[in-house]
Structure 1
Amino acid sequence: MLENSKPRHYLAQFYGANDNPHVRYRRTNIIARAVYPNGGVKSFSSLQVRIVGICETGALIQTGAVEFLPDHFYLCLGENEVIFTCAKRNVMKDKMVLVFSQAEDTFFINSLAKGGLPLTTLKRMRASTVVRTRTMRSGHS
């Protein structure tokens, strides 16, 4: 029986449902902050990262200090306008594949990938995505 030699993080059970080998990342070039607890309950550290690929279930980030990121952290866009809860999936030299705790809306991810919107409108864009999705599900145009 094959067994994984590295123990999985305790939060991995929540992210395992996103295991899709055919994920298609959309190219992007977004500066974000990775925020993670540091030592105490109310103490946080942050690290600037670049999102170079994004999809509904995760992202590909790039930073020179990828080894400092813990297994679980938050990815913040804008002035804490949009926050993704993330878990580390795979680490390469200066890149990391991460997964979101819950899948994001396709319209929202496509809008982020296009990058034409200023960061001050991120919160409104995400809110309109939720309204748009609810309207489509209820059958209204």
Structure 2
Amino acid sequence: MTVRETAATSSSNYLTRAGRGRGGQGQAFRNCNVLFHILFTLKGVREVASGQLRVLQISEKGLRASSRRKDIPDQFYMCIGDRQIHIGCVIVSRKRGLLDIRFLNELPTPFVGAVAALEDPFALLEEIRPAVFGLDGFVN
């Protein structure tokens, strides 16, 4: 292991390493324009903050998005619906205002297709019926 690899490994935690280790080869991103709520901690775990992501592309393994918030940590939860479903996420890279994000667990293909087909960017901020989006097993 090189010095650079060792430094990168020691400066991140296991969630970041897990997300980065999955690789993005072969991902078929689908274009979309949807907003998602996100939840994350600040100041260690003493403060919970929220924000929004504007998702521009999505796949079963991850997404590309932008946000007005610049303080989003490398690990956070993406909320679907009215905070009905929480998906663990890891930011893999930050380039020119875009976030390259990986999910800790792959999302079902029917859900990804439904998100890509949405015309209303606010549709997933309100309460949803998980079965319509293929998310039966993800409900909290």
Task: Give the structure-2-normalised TM-score.
Answer: 0.76
The answer to whether 1:123 aligns with 2:126 is no
Letter of the structure 2 residue corresponding to residue 56 of structure 1: E
Matches within 5 A, 1:8-87: 8=9, 9-10=12-13, 11-39=15-43, 41=45, 43-65=47-69, 67-87=70-90
* Paired residues, number: 129
Letter of the structure 2 residue corresponding to residue 55 of structure 1: S
Cα deviations by residue, 1:41-95 (Å, 9 ceiling, x for unpaired): 4631012220111100111111233x31111001112210232100011101211
Cα deviations by residue, 1:5-31 (Å, 9 ceiling, x for unpaired): 862421134224521322121111111
Runs of 5+ consecutive residues of structure 2 not aligned to the other structure: none
Task: Give the structure-1-normalised TM-score.
Answer: 0.76
Match of 1:108 in 2: 111
* 1:82–1:122 CA contact under 8 A, matched in 2: no
Distance of 2:16 and 2:32 partners within structure 1: 26
Letter of the structure 1 residue corresponding to residue 42 of structure 2: N
Match of 1:138 in 2: none
User: Relative contact order: is structure 1 or structure 2 higher (C-alpha 8 Å, sep ≥ 6)?
Assistant: 2
Structure showing greater radius of gyration is 1
Distance of 1:107 and 1:98 partners within structure 2: 19
Distance of 1:57 and 1:18 partners within structure 2: 9
Distance of 1:16 and 1:88 partners within structure 2: 8
CA-atom RMSD in angstroms: 2.5
Distance of 2:25 and 2:113 partners within structure 1: 20
Distance of 2:76 and 2:54 partners within structure 1: 15
Identity %: 19
